[in-house]
Amino acid sequence: MSAPPKDRYNGVWLIFFMLGLGTLLPWNFFMTATVYFTSRLAEPGSDRIAPPDGSGNGSAPLNGSLSSNDTTMRAVDPPLTQLQSKFNNVMTLCAMLPLLIFTCLNSILHRRISQNIRIAGSLAAIFLVFLLTAIFVKIEFSPATFFTLTMVKIVFINSFGALLQGSLFGLAALFPASYTAPIMSGQGLAGTFAALAMICALASGSALEDSAFGYFITACVVILLALVSYLALNKLEFYQYYTVENLKNIAINSVNNDVELKKDLLQKGDHGAESGAGANEKQSILLILKKIWVLALSVCLVFTVTIGIFPSVTADVKSTIAGDTQWGKYFIPVSCFLLFNLFDWAGRSLTSLVMWPGKDSKLLPILVVARLIFLPLFMLCNVMPRNYLPVYLAHDAWYICVMVVFALSNGYLASLCMCFGPKKVNVHEAETAGAIMAFFLSLGLALGAGFSFLLRILV
């Protein structure tokens, strides 16, 4: 292989970053807009408005007293309807199950559908879903119809998002290890960007309908930029070098494997050709999985813990120090969504500077298992309403500190696992390893989504 050209102006790195942003931006924009969605799910004629803390459950302060503002809030904020109370959990489930299913299908589709169609087509489909979401802001629906349409849209964006993510990690596996980091970093920025967009919408003072429309149009613009960036990627010399040269090596290895397979089949007889080819393919996947199973299970556990508690439990925590201030309005957008995504992004980006512990270290899976401590910590914060557990970490500062460490560890450990996975196998196995890692990542998301129902009930 000839010496690789330079990545001029870090063009490929920046485009990978932009594409990483595009993979998780849709999910984060839907997840962060819970105030808008729950307000649209109120019963007709209730004139329900979002409460100052943006939570929508209208629970009383811990001391049992009500200020004049609290009394006003409860007067216009009746108890949550069934659709409103189940929205976060059902939304998470409708997002993560399609993500898992289509990540599995991606291992089949990547051989039948070209990379350009999978990536560019997915971005185009996500753009259209967001455009519809912006249009639906201006159209009146019954709560049940709006709930159904919203869940269908979430299924669609996460199905295409899974194809996009799996294809992107498979593509990045052809490049040096440092080129997986911008994808992970871009995914971290997606949540930060969505949280900042929501905070700006709240601060604008505009009507909820106008703020939501601008919010979703912003997402359309970013997805469109990601699509244009990908179309420009194919023209860059650095990109062409690694894709073409690595594909040649894969083809050579494939030919060599076919020659070895045919030798075996000549000895066994021609009737075993088809079954032998299938067995060889399965054996290859199992051999790759044997090399990376620790990292695969680690990334799965990272996201099982994260999605199990965030946002189904963390978004229901109430401020105990807000009083009559504006902090109650911004507590969840800032302390939950912005802080999580900001420090998750920082953790993912940190792997561009340091990659410790190493890919063969036993400390890495130990650190992943240690994150289970965050489940009881968040459940003991001031989550409202609650039925069983006491509140031990009532002050806002406890919640914020736990959230910072939780988010930082999520981004850093997940990024390490995704970077190390394809590097523990041979070059011609790297794309398959990347797809396997993406599958286990999605499996963790799906398990966390199902687990979130139990955790919320136990609080």
Task: Give residue 267's pLDDT band: very low, low, confident or very high (50, 70, 90).
Answer: low
Q: Does residue 423 sit within a domain?
A: yes
Cβ 412 vs Cβ 83: under 8 Å: no
Better-scored residue on pLDDT, 452 or 329: 452
Reported for 80-86, long-range contacts at CB under 8 A and 24+ positions apart, including other chains, are 80/38, 80/56, 81/41, 81/42, 81/43, 81/143, 83/41, 83/143, 83/144, 83/147, 84/38, 84/41, 84/42, 84/56
Report whether pLDDT(341) > 60: yes
Q: Which domain holds residue 253?
A: 10-458
Tokens 């990376």 correspond to 292
Which tens digit of pLDDT belongs to each residue from 346-388?
Answer: 898 898 888 889 888 999 999 999 999 999 999 999 998 888 9
Q: 195-209, 213-227, 308-322: lowest mean pLDDT where? A: 195-209
- Looking at per-residue pLDDT, the higher value among 329 and 224 belongs to 224
Percentage of residues in the chain having pLDDT higher than 70: 83
Q: Which pLDDT does position 275 carry in this prediction?
A: 54
User: Can the peptide bond before residue 5 be classed as cis, meaning omega within 30 degrees of 0?
Assistant: no
CA distances from 397 to 156, 164, 321 (A): 38, 38, 10
Percent of the chain with pLDDT over 90: 36
Q: Is the pLDDT of residue 56 over 70?
A: no
The per-residue pLDDT of the chain, averaged, comes to 82
User: How far apart are the C-alpha atoms of 124 and 155, rounded to whole Å?
Assistant: 16
Confidence label for 414 from pLDDT (cuts 50, 70 and 90): very high
Q: Is 3 part of any domain?
A: no
Domain for residue 16, yes or no? yes
Using a cut of 0.75, tell me whether the model's pTM lies above it: no
Kindly indicate the confidence band of residue 72, based on its pLDDT and cuts at 50, 70 and 90.
very low
Residue 122 belongs to some domain of the structure = yes
What was the pLDDT predicted at 46? 58
- Whether residue 76 is predicted with pLDDT greater than 50 in this model: the reply is no
In a domain, 347, yes or no: yes
pLDDT of residue 2: 64
Interval 113-143: pLDDT, tens: 888 899 999 999 999 999 999 999 999 999 9
**pLDDT higher than 60, residue 155:** yes
Look-up of token digits 């209730």? 46
| pLDDT in the model for residue 262 | 46
Rounded average pLDDT over 258-274 = 49
CATH of the domain at 255: 1.20.1250.20
pLDDT number for residue 52: 39
Domain total in the chain: 1
Give CA–CA dist 447/356, Å, rounded: 27
Cα–Cα dist 43/63, whole Å: 30
* Residue 75 falls inside a structural domain: yes
pLDDT for res 49: 43
Can you tell me the mean pLDDT for 254-264?
49
- Model pLDDT, residue 169: 81
Q: What is the pLDDT of residue 336?
A: 93
Domain-embedded: residue 51: yes
HSE-CB at 14 with a 13 A cutoff on CA atoms is 10
Domain presence at residue 1:
no
